[in-house]
Amino acid sequence: MIDTEVTVRRASDADAPALAGLRWRRAIQERGYQGDNLDEFVATLGDWMRGHPEHRAFVAEAAGEVVGMAWLAVLDRVPTANKYARRGGDVQSVFVVPELRDRRVGALLMAAVLNEARRLELEHVTVHSSTRAVPFYERNGWGHDPEWLSWASEA
């Protein structure tokens, strides 16, 4: 249970610096990045968000601070003979600050993302998860499917 009130909402352009800060923090703390280009990255992410409206960001806030994020990429799919408009989704870049992990913040973000997927009538939503997060997704209604395959570039 959360001991501080957390709210989740759809992010706006004004949230770009906070979203960039979370992505920056993840890169440094979990991936060992040592760059010094934070200001450039903040500007780049803001521009990217404005140029990619099919990517919907959601933020979790606690005590007036953005403490988590999750992104839903909405993808048009090839029409079929009986369904011309088809869309799917992909969950990307889910992150909660370490000090608030395992306190249902991620579950609140995932509920917002999946509510958006339902509202948009997406056929399916996928996620590529870290090993650590697999149990989180399973607790939140995700399942494995032997028909889903992936390919990764060697680069």
Mean pLDDT over all residues of the chain? 92
Q: Can you give the pTM of this predicted structure?
A: 0.89
Instruction: Please report the pLDDT score of residue 1 as a whole number.
Output: 41
Give yes or no for residue 12 having a pLDDT over 60: yes
Query: What's the pLDDT band for 3 if we cut at 50, 70, 90?
Result: low
Read off the pLDDT of each residue in 126-139 and give the average, rounded to a whole number.
Answer: 91
**CA geometry: angle 94, 95, 100, nearest 5 deg:** 135
Q: Sheet harboring 65-76: ordered strands across?
A: 6-10, 55-62, 65-76, 87-96, 125-127
Residue 111: how many CA atoms within 13 Å on its side-chain side?
10
